[in-house]
Chain A
Amino acid sequence: MSLVTLAVVSILFGAGTYLILQRMLSRVVIGLGLLSHGVNLLIILAGSRPGEPPIVGDHHAAAGVVDPLPQAMVLTAIVISFGVTAFLLALALRSYLLTGSDAVEDDIEDRRIGGTDVDKVAEQEETSA
């Protein structure tokens, strides 16, 4: 059971990392979403063995009951990542409206250091647009 979960966690992390390294902002947003799903699963995994639900009537025996703390933490983390994803989407939309493209441009300074003629590139971009 936990081996399967672990495999899912690693797949989510792998795919998330791949997407974050893309140029398209929409993919970055999805990548971050996958990463946060992966980490949420990982925290649940930290609760170790499966067991009874932690809230059952009035029985107080701790044995056989799953650790409730990771679940509480995951709930918090889910809410936070939900809010942040919404904000990030708004920001990506803003970027799209401002620049007319979903792709993240190179840093101008990086281009300069890389030896690219910045003005020429800007000119080319203008003519192609």
Chain B
Amino acid sequence: MSWMLPAVVAGPLLAAGLTLLSGRRLWLQRVITLVGVGGVLGAAISLLVAADSGSAQVSQMGGWAAPVGITLVADRFAAIMLTVAAAMLLLVLIYAMAQLKSDALDWWFHSKYLVLTAGISLSFVTGDLFNLFVGFEIMLIASYVLLTAKTGKGEIRATMSYVVINLVASTLFLVIISFVYITTGTMNLADLSVVMADVDPAIRSGLSMLMLVVFGIKAALFPLFMWLPDSYPTAPTPVTAIFAGLLTKVGVFVIIRTQTLLFPHDGPSDLILFVAGATMLVGVLGAIAQNDIKRILSFHIVSQIGYMIMGLGLFSFAGLAAAILYIIHHIIVKTGLFLVGGLVEAEHGTGALDRVGGVLHRRPAFALLFLPFALSLAGMPPFSGFVAKLALVQEGLMLDRGIIVGVSLLVGLLTFFSMTKIWGAVFWGRETEATGDAGFGMVGATVLVVALSLSVAAFAGPLADLAARAAIDILDPSIYAGLVLGVGG
């Protein structure tokens, strides 16, 4: 079954090649893309089942045993992320197919989407630092093309800064790779976790901070988030939705993986908690000041990243479990919110709050779709955000970190406020003329995302247990090392 690990990366890449070969035969491209992304989802689910039943899959590329060869690993954490990501990729793909139906540029979309899928999968399952860089690059190059393909005069500046900032971050990533290699002489994450324990603490914390900066740029942490709210809203809705749901979360995943595996802390880290609090607060304040659905939601991405990092900063078993639960909830809800925003945009031609109104009267269904996401994002019971936030707050109080708990609750309230701003302007108010019609496929895909989000809340118990088991794995680096190197554990 370990063949599935290379397959989740090679499969989409192969499919991307096939879509290019099929030229402008759209139906063929669609079938290939659906099969490709669907295949990743199927493999991800079976990898998750295997990992959770105690037989996590490890694959050594080219038959070279770790730490010499490149290792692909799907432990619980990676398999959870891969499954949620693949589910979202599939749903957004359906939405995109419905939206781009009438679009002449449609033929370029599918291959880039498949390459993006491959890059995201590789970033999750790789067990090698340099290979992680390659995964990031595959993902980012696809994202550059998706983001810039339809930009006009107004947006080229923002997308250009997205590309340049990510390239600088990639260069810094390579600098860290060379520093790590000078220090330890290995790139394998499992091997690094063993070797890193003997490295001089000063050098180790230096490397740890450098990694936090580089992945902080990818994850849009305070104060490195400025590129995100500018560039994300410029892309077509499906692209923005999948970026919002997944790309920054790949950064968060890598931050959690590297900080816990390579630089285990004993207790809560004040620095990370401060970054988390600042990220939450600045993000939500930025969101309140905005006047466009997509821009508001983009600032909320930043704010929500803070919660996940807060779970990491607590560095406790329950804190990490809460962070994992939060990531699962957030990926689904954030993608869903952008999809609903896209529905409104598709019908009214704009997402500006002062130019859209009365959607509730014209399309009560949209309001019904928006509501669970918005309440969930703000952390209202009984939606999924409540479960995840509750776990974080409980653990924060348990560890006596009152300030960050206070900030997180305040930010929840402000999030709720900015959601009411969208609600008041877009769904209530004077009805505005609709210029288009959101198709059945777009609404259908959004309904599926809502269903998924609600089932996260409904199955919060089993999911929290799963997250807890994943957190046990994360907090004990020897489990991961044992898995890859075949010793200890």
Known contacts A28-B164, A36-B171, A88-B167, A98 near B144 by CB under 8 Å: no
Q: B182: which of A46, A76, A94 is its contact (CB, 8 Å)?
A: A46
Kindly list chain A residues whose C-beta atoms are within 8 Å of the C-beta of B170. 84
State how many angstroms separate the Cβ of A33 from the closest Cβ of chain B. 10
Is A43 located at the chain interface by the 8 A CB criterion? Answer: yes
CB <8 Å contact, B153 and A99: yes
Per-position contact with A for B98-134: 1 when CB-CB < 8 Å, else 0? 0000000000000000000000000000000010011
Nearest to A77 among chain B residues (CB) is: B174
State how many angstroms separate the Cβ of B62 from the closest Cβ of chain A. 12
A37 to B291, CA, bound (A): 42
CB <8 Å contact, B178 and A95: no
Q: A104: which of B160, B168, B185 is its contact (CB, 8 Å)?
A: B160
CB <8 Å contact, B160 and A80: no
Kindly list chain A residues whose C-beta atoms are within 8 Å of the C-beta of B174. 36, 39-40, 42-43, 77
CB <8 Å contact, B164 and A20: yes
Kindly list chain B residues whose C-beta atoms are within 8 Å of the C-beta of A94. 148, 151, 156
CB <8 Å contact, B156 and A98: yes
- Which residue, B130, B151, B156, B160, has most C-beta atoms of chain A within 10 A? B156
CB <8 Å contact, B157 and A70: no
Known contacts A48-B182, A84-B141, A25 near B130 by CB under 8 Å: no
Is B181 located at the chain interface by the 8 A CB criterion? Answer: yes
A36 to B185, CA, bound (A): 21
Q: How many residues of A contact B (CB 8 A)?
A: 33
Known contacts A32-B171, A76-B130, A91-B148, A39 near B178 by CB under 8 Å: yes
Kindly list chain A residues whose C-beta atoms are within 8 Å of the C-beta of B156. 91, 94-95, 98-99
CB <8 Å contact, B187 and A69: yes
Per-position contact with B for A21-37: 1 when CB-CB < 8 Å, else 0? 00001001000100110
Kindly list chain B residues whose C-beta atoms are within 8 Å of the C-beta of A8. none
Chain B interface SS verdict (over half): helix
> In which size bucket is the chain B interface?
20 to 34
Is B483 located at the chain interface by the 8 A CB criterion? Answer: no
Is B175 located at the chain interface by the 8 A CB criterion? Answer: yes
Is B267 located at the chain interface by the 8 A CB criterion? Answer: no
A46 to B177, CA, bound (A): 9
Give me 16 other A-B pairs in contact (C-beta within 8 A), A67-B185, A70-B178 excluded.
A32-B167, A40-B174, A46-B181, A70-B181, A73-B177, A76-B134, A87-B163, A91-B148, A91-B156, A91-B160, A91-B163, A92-B160, A99-B153, A105-B157, A107-B158, A107-B230
- Among all A-B residue pairs, the 10 with the closest Cβ atoms: A46-B178, A46-B181, A43-B178, A39-B174, A98-B153, A46-B182, A42-B178, A95-B156, A35-B171, A80-B137
Instruction: List residues of chain B with CB under 8 Å of any chain A CB.
Output: 130, 133-134, 137, 141, 144-145, 148, 151-153, 156-161, 163-164, 167-168, 170-171, 174-175, 177-179, 181-182, 185, 187, 230
Instruction: List residues of chain A with CB under 8 Å of any chain B CB.
Output: 20, 25, 28, 32, 35-36, 39-40, 42-43, 45-46, 48, 67, 69-70, 73, 76-77, 80, 83-84, 87-88, 91-92, 94-95, 98-99, 104-105, 107
21 A-B pairs (CB sep. < 8 Å): A25-B160, A32-B168, A35-B168, A39-B175, A42-B174, A42-B178, A69-B181, A73-B130, A73-B177, A73-B187, A76-B130, A76-B134, A77-B174, A87-B163, A88-B164, A88-B167, A91-B144, A91-B148, A94-B156, A95-B160, A98-B152
